[in-house]
């Protein structure tokens, strides 16, 4: 019994070694031999014979005509598909070949780059009524002169008035009011007039000996014009010709330039504020008035 088991083990071992040695050697598929087609000739290379005619066989060296060999098969090369360009809406004629109908030969069509479309210019600024809006006309005025900057700041200007410039200017300042007997032709006439005033009881007077009021007689200097007017009337009632003249001096003042819309109504508003101290001027910065 033991020798039988040992024999089976030896047989299995031999079978395993034989199978392991021949496991990687499989039977390869045998390709069928290609048919002998002879020399092939492309249709494009050979000049085709006239329709219905066959080329005559050439004679051999001994003058015998060879037997007609079977014709070799002709292999046709597929032609490249004919591309037809058609735009949207164009009809394709019947029988025309397209790329979709002949997938054997694919043709890559590269379109030329298109130039970017020119940008249209922006529309002009127009009003809602279609017409181009025109800026309103403006004008500049000089107000003053005033005594100082505080007087300028206290002005109540129209709401549409734009302050453009405050500048220093020379101005004539009234410091008082004279009551005068006008200058006499000469010094003797001036002294004679003084004698007449004394006879009427006038004691307050002054004779100018030089200056623009030379040979004039002052009968008083008043701070207020109404007081000077009252004194002049008193002298006239005594039989003398008298006048009121302002006493002035030059000083530095401040003028204000404003820019407003050009309007007669606005000009009247400015005149009510500053009186006769108003005149048109060119706008600062080269702007026209």
Question: Tens of pLDDT along 44-70?
Answer: 555 555 555 454 455 554 555 545 545
Average pLDDT over residues 92-100: 45
Residue 266 falls inside a structural domain:
yes
Q: Which of 121, 123, 80, 116 is nearest to 99 (CA)?
A: 80
In whole angstroms, what is the distance from residue 224 CA to residue 221 CA?
Answer: 9
One domain for residues 207 and 235:
yes
Number of domains observed in the structure of the chain: 2
Residue 51 falls inside a structural domain:
no
DSSP for 221-245, written as a single string = EESSHHHHHHHHHHHHHTT---EEE
Could you report the per-residue pLDDT of 223-248, keeping only the tens digit for each? 999 999 999 999 999 999 999 999 98
What is the radius of gyration, based on Cα positions, of the chain? Answer: 65
One domain for residues 240 and 190:
yes
One domain for residues 152 and 202:
no
One domain for residues 164 and 260:
yes
Q: Which helix (H) or strand (E) holds 142?
A: strand 138-146
Residue 203 sits in a domain of what CATH number?
3.30.70
One domain for residues 256 and 268:
yes
Residue 192 falls inside a structural domain:
yes
One domain for residues 147 and 206:
no
Residue 166 falls inside a structural domain:
yes
One domain for residues 244 and 257:
no
Residue 88 falls inside a structural domain:
no
One domain for residues 162 and 257:
yes
* Residue-number span of the structural domain to which 162 is assigned: 138-171+251-281
Residue 70 falls inside a structural domain:
no
One domain for residues 162 and 218:
no
One domain for residues 244 and 180:
yes
Of residues 78 and 214, which shows the higher confidence score? 214
Residue 60 falls inside a structural domain:
no
Q: What is the pLDDT of residue 11?
A: 84
One domain for residues 179 and 240:
yes
Residue 108 falls inside a structural domain:
no
One domain for residues 147 and 198:
no
Burial class from Cβ neighbours inside 10 Å (0-12, 13-18, 19+) for residue 256 reads buried
Q: What is the pLDDT of residue 172?
A: 85
Whether the model clears a pTM of 0.85, i.e. scores above it, the answer is: no
């Amino acid at each position: 019994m033991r020798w039988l088991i040992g024999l089976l083990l030896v047989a299995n071992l031999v079978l395993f070694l034989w199978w392991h040695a021949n496991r990687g050697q499989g039977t390869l598929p045998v390709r069928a031999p290609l048919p002998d087609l002879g020399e092939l000739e492309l249709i494009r290379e050979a000049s085709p014979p006239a329709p219905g005619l066959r080329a005559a066989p050439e004679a051999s060296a001994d003058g015998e005509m060879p037997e007609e060999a079977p014709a070799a098969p002709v292999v046709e090369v597929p032609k490249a598909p004919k591309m037809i360009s058609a735009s949207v809406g164009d009809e394709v004629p019947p029988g025309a070949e397209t790329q979709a109908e002949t997938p054997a030969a694919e043709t890559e069509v590269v379109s030329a780059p298109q130039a970017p479309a020119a940008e249209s210019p922006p529309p002009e600024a127009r009003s809602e009524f279609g017409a181009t809006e025109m800026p309103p006309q403006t004008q500049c005025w000089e107000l003053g002169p005033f005594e100082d900057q505080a007087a300028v700041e206290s002005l109540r200007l129209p709401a549409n008035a734009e302050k453009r410039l405050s500048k220093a200017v020379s101005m004539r300042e009234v410091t008082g009011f004279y009551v005068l007997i006008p200058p006499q032709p000469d010094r003797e006439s001036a002294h004679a007039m003084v004698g007449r005033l004394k006879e009427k009881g006038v004691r307050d007077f002054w004779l100018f000996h030089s200056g623009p009021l030379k040979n004039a007689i002052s009968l008083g200097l008043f701070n207020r014009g109404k007081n000077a007017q009252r004194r002049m009337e008193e002298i006239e009632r005594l039989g003398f010709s008298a006048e009121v003249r302002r006493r002035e001096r030059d000083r530095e003042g401040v003028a204000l330039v404003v820019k407003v819309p050009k309007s007669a109504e606005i000009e009247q508003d400015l005149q009510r504020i500053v009186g006769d101290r108003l005149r048109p001027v060119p706008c600062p910065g080269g702007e026209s008035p």
